[in-house]
Amino acid sequence: MTSKELSKGLLRTIFILAIICLSGYLIFKLSSILVYVIISILFTLLANPIVNFLKTKLKFKNTLAVVTTISLFLLLIIGILFLFVPLLVSQGQNLSLLDIDKMESNYNEVINSITTYLESHGINASGALETNKLLSSINLDFIPNIFNSIVTIVGNIGIGLASVLFISFFFLKEREQFSNRFDYVLPSKQKDKILTALSSISNLLTRYFGGLMLQLFIILVLYLIVFLIFGVENAFIIALLCAILNIIPYLGPLLGMIVASSLILLSGIGDDFTNDVLPTLTYVLIGMGIVQLIDNNFSQPIIFSKSTKSHPLEIFLVILASGTLFGVTGMIIAVPAYTAIKVIAKEFFPNNKVVKALTREL
């Protein structure tokens, strides 16, 4: 190799690395826009069956069908938000009635009861369970910061929602045009494989999100039954909130239990904590645990395995790995991303033994 060829190769390598670095920088800076586009694509997959139903069964024009579908989703979101207004108002009233001294007294009473019970069985718990003032060291200066954070989050969610709906409108309205343009720029040798993979991914993800909605509905009904049995205030709203949190695999149910516990404790301000609030909270948590056992062992494996054509253990390991690498966001996108990767691998590497083993159900 001559020095001229070596220089050209080195320059080419530097140029490629510069392009990669620039692309990574742009992706990092434009990550919010990419997230909006990805969410819009997922929303399009979820909404497209409704658009097709309106066009084929009710004879809507394409634009009218798209506007109607987006309006229905927007009304659904607004309706859910308004459902939480009574909950926020009632909990705000409960907080205004919060008696710190009584709360400390209830806390000390529970701790003394636990200590007495343990000591009656020969366990010395006096060192582990202290009955000192619970709230004496709490600094309430954090409240304005929390309020400002909430305002910022709400503003970002509003901007994100408007962006997603705007992008989704054109994805739904001009889906065929986008497909034709995309088809035009594809390399001719790989065009059939790419189009087949995209069609399979679209079908599987549509089934997955449909299965996810069914799972959330089942969780909502079961939680609602538990809350109604034990007389929890605002049962439907709390059940809905816990069902939405259930979208986060494995971590979501725990967050739902924490939220439900907090709201039950706030609702019980002024009641007898030991004889009324604590037993109710215990029974509700047991009921929620039973619901999660039903979901984790029956509804979730059946729905997800059928919709994505993946083994439940496969899904569990993928979610666990994604959560370890990318946190909560990784857990949420793990299943759809893994499904897309499997379809692509089957189309482009059909003879690979590992791919064959993982995609035999596709």
- Mean pLDDT, residues 174-181 taken together: 75
The predicted structure's pLDDT at residue 205: 79
pLDDT tens, residue by residue, 321-336:
888 887 777 777 788 8
CA 252, 255, 257 angle in degrees (round to 5)?
110
Q: Report which of 98, 92, 101, 99 is spatially closest to residue 136, judged by C-alpha positions.
A: 101
3 state SS for the chain: CCHHHHHHHHHHHHHHHHHHHHHHHHHHHCHHHHHHHHHHHHHHHHHHHHHHHHHHCCCCCHHHHHHHHHHHHHHHHHHHHHHHHHHHHHHHHHHHCCCHHHHHHHHHHHHHHHHHHHHHCCCCCCCCCCCCCCCCCCCCCHHHHHHHHHHHHHHHHHHHHHHHHHHHHHHHHCHHHHHHHHHHHCCCCCHHHHHHHHHHHHHHHHHHHHHHHHHHHHHHHHHHHHHHHCCCCCHHHHHHHHHHHCCCCCHHHHHHHHHHHHHHHHHCCCCCHHHHHHHHHHHHHHHHHHHHHHHHHHHHHHHHHHHHCCCHHHHHHHHHHHHHHHHHHHHHHHHHHHHHHHHHHHHHCCCCHHHHHHCCCC
Q: How confident is the model at residue 135 (pLDDT cuts 50, 70, 90)?
A: very low
Residue 1 has pLDDT above 60, yes or no: no
The pLDDT of residue 153 is above 70: no
Query: Where is pLDDT greater, at 191 or 169?
Result: 169
Q: Which of 51-55, 257-261, 309-313 has the lowest mean pLDDT?
A: 309-313
Residue type, 192: D
Higher pLDDT, 287 or 132: 287
Q: What percent of the chain has pLDDT over 70?
A: 77
Summarize the confidence of residues 236-261 as an average pLDDT: 86
CA distance 227 to 91: 17
How far apart CA 268 and CA 290 sit, in angstroms, is: 23
Query: What average pLDDT does the chain have?
Result: 77
Residue with the bigger pLDDT between 125 and 290: it is 290
Q: Is the pLDDT of residue 167 over 50?
A: yes
Both tokens of 4, joined, read 């001229």
User: What does the chain come to in residues?
Assistant: 362
Do 291 and 226 contact (CB within 8 A), yes or no? yes
